[in-house]
């Protein structure tokens, strides 16, 4: 597996010291303290999320999120690793800003995934007034904006795959969106090809989850990662994966 060269390389002792320091700074005991070798490189997880049709149990959202009924690639699915030990990696980076527009009386995109500390810029491309609000997370907000208006909101704390920030418009009750906030870099929201890819994952076995917040689908599994190798995964979901209360 080819990788972009780093501007410098730590020795084994230096890498181990960084891993230990990250665990101590986070206050954790190191759920699965990784070796210096694991911190220095990893493998790749790549795959696709596919929806399997069942003519006897039609999924009403399929027409919105599955473009090809024969192949079934599912868009707007959130895929992520869920192990608590990933927090100890503490891969620092500058906060980033994603965007979510209000256009044609819909949030676009309706599903976002960001890192804790990132911001989202909400915009309004409709001629009518809109609103962006939530009661979820550490910093609930309620902001109205006219045509061409915007609002930037930071999301400081991670809720992971289980506690997304549910976004709505107080002026138009049918408008809804979800923002997932993670404390590690191994997450993705699928596009129309249903694909996802995680790079530089430390070797080991991980729990992996998929949720489709709009369509009420969920799936969990495990994946094994080896150094400098690619682990391929096909996540297949069907009406059996509907959240129980919505089956």
Q: What is the pLDDT of residues 82-128, one digit of tens each?
A: 988 887 776 678 899 999 999 999 999 999 999 999 999 999 999 99
Q: From CA 109, how far away is CA 112, in angstroms rounded?
A: 7
pLDDT value at 223 more than 70: yes
Q: From CA 219, how far away is CA 227, in angstroms rounded?
A: 26
Strand order in the sheet with 43-51: 195-201, 43-51, 230-237
- Scanning 5-109, the segments in alpha helix (DSSP H) are 12-25, 36-40, 62-65
- The pLDDT of residue 88 is 73
> 245 exposed, middle or buried (CB, 10 Å; 0-12, 13-18, 19+)?
exposed
pLDDT value at 65 more than 50: yes
Q: From CA 114, how far away is CA 23, in angstroms rounded?
A: 22
- The pLDDT of residue 200 is 93
- The pLDDT of residue 244 is 72
pTM equals: 0.81
- The pLDDT of residue 2 is 42
DSSP code of residue 244:
G
Q: From CA 182, how far away is CA 161, in angstroms rounded?
A: 8
Q: From CA 61, how far away is CA 41, in angstroms rounded?
A: 40
- On whether the CB atoms of residues 177 and 110 are closer than 8 A, the answer is yes
- The pLDDT of residue 172 is 96
What would the mean pLDDT of 171-182 be, rounded to a whole number? 96
CB neighbours (10 Å) of residue 110?
Answer: 18
pLDDT value at 69 more than 60: yes
pLDDT value at 5 more than 60: no
- Scanning the chain, the segments in alpha helix (DSSP H) are 12-25, 36-40, 62-65
pLDDT value at 28 more than 70: no
For 88: left if phi > 0, alpha if psi spans -120 to 50, otherwise beta; the answer is alpha
For the chain, the average pLDDT equals 85
pLDDT value at 8 more than 60: no
Q: From CA 91, how far away is CA 48, in angstroms rounded?
A: 26
pLDDT value at 9 more than 60: no
Query: C-alpha dihedral over 55, 60, 61, 67, to 10 degrees?
Result: 40
What would the mean pLDDT of 12-40 be, rounded to a whole number? 41
241 three-state secondary structure: helix
- The pLDDT of residue 89 is 73
């Amino acid at each position: 597996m080819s990788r972009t060269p780093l501007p410098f390389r730590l020795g084994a002792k230096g890498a181990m010291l960084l891993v230990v320091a990250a665990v101590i700074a986070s206050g954790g005991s190191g759920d699965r303290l990784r070796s210096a070798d694991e911190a220095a490189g990893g493998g790749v997880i790549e795959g696709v999320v596919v929806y399997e049709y069942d003519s006897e149990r039609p999924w009403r959202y399929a027409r919105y999120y599955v473009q090809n009924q024969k192949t079934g690639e599912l868009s707007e699915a959130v895929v992520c690793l869920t192990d608590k030990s990933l927090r100890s990696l503490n891969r620092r980076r500058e906060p980033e800003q994603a965007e979510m527009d209000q256009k044609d009386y819909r949030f676009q995109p309706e599903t976002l995934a960001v890192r804790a500390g990132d911001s989202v810029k909400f915009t309004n491309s409709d001629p009518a007034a809109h609103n962006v609000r939530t009661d979820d997370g550490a910093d609930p907000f309620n902001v109205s904006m006219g045509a061409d208006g915007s609002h930037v909101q930071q999301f400081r704390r991670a809720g992971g795959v289980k506690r997304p920030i549910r976004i709505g418009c107080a002026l138009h009750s049918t408008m809804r969106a979800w923002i997932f906030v993670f404390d590690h870099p191994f997450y993705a929201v699928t596009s129309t090809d249903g694909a996802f890819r995680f790079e530089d994952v430390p070797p080991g076995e991980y729990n992996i989850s998929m949720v489709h917040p709009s369509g009420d689908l969920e799936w969990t599994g495990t994946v094994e990662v080896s150094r400098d190798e690619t682990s391929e995964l096909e996540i297949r979901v069907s009406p059996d994966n509907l959240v129980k209360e919505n089956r």
